[in-house]
């Protein structure tokens, strides 16, 4: 099993949810996050004063998949998340040793 963590632009969330559902992903966890990379934040104006916003709002998706679904899921996230502009985000793929569904005690792929 693999854990896919994807940091994407917030306005891509609905499209992303629909796309991963179409390839058979049954669930994901969502977190609102802030960060910066090459994008380096941006300037905003509030009551006539300009200030630097160092951390840009993003959305972090966490999806656990069977190893066989990993490549297809990453490709879907890349396709849907790509705007061609700086700040599109990152995808991290990590191994998952064990998954257990608390309610039933199921483990492994059955618990996803």
| Beta strands per DSSP E along the chain | 2-8, 29-35, 42-46, 49-53, 56-65, 90-95
pLDDT value of residue 84: 92
pLDDT value of residue 96: 97
Task: Give the distance, in angstroms, between the CA of residue 74 and the centroid of all CA atoms in the same chain.
Answer: 10
Q: Which residues contact 93 (CB under 8 A, 6 or more apart)?
A: 2, 3, 4, 5, 70, 74
pLDDT value of residue 40: 66
pTM, two decimals, is 0.85
SS3 of 63, please?
strand
pLDDT 10s digit of each residue in the chain, 112 long?
A: 999 999 999 999 999 999 999 999 999 999 999 887 776 666 667 777 777 777 788 999 999 999 999 999 999 999 999 999 888 999 999 999 999 999 999 999 999 9
Q: Which residues contact 82 (CB under 8 A, 6 or more apart)?
A: 88
pLDDT value of residue 60: 98
Domains of the chain: 2-111 (3.30.70.120)
């Amino acid at each position: 099993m693999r854990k896919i963590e994807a940091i994407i632009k917030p306005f891509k969330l609905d499209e992303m949810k629909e796309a991963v559902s179409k390839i058979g992903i049954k669930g994901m966890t969502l977190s609102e996050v802030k960060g910066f990379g090459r994008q380096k934040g941006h300037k905003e104006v509030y009551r006539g004063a300009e200030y630097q916003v160092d951390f840009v709002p993003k959305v972090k998706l966490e999806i656990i998949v069977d190893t066989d679904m990993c490549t297809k899921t990453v490709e879907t996230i890349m396709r849907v998340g790509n705007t061609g502009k700086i700040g599109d985000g990152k995808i991290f793929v990590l191994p998952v040793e064990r998954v257990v569904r608390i309610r039933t005690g199921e483990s492994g792929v059955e618990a996803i």
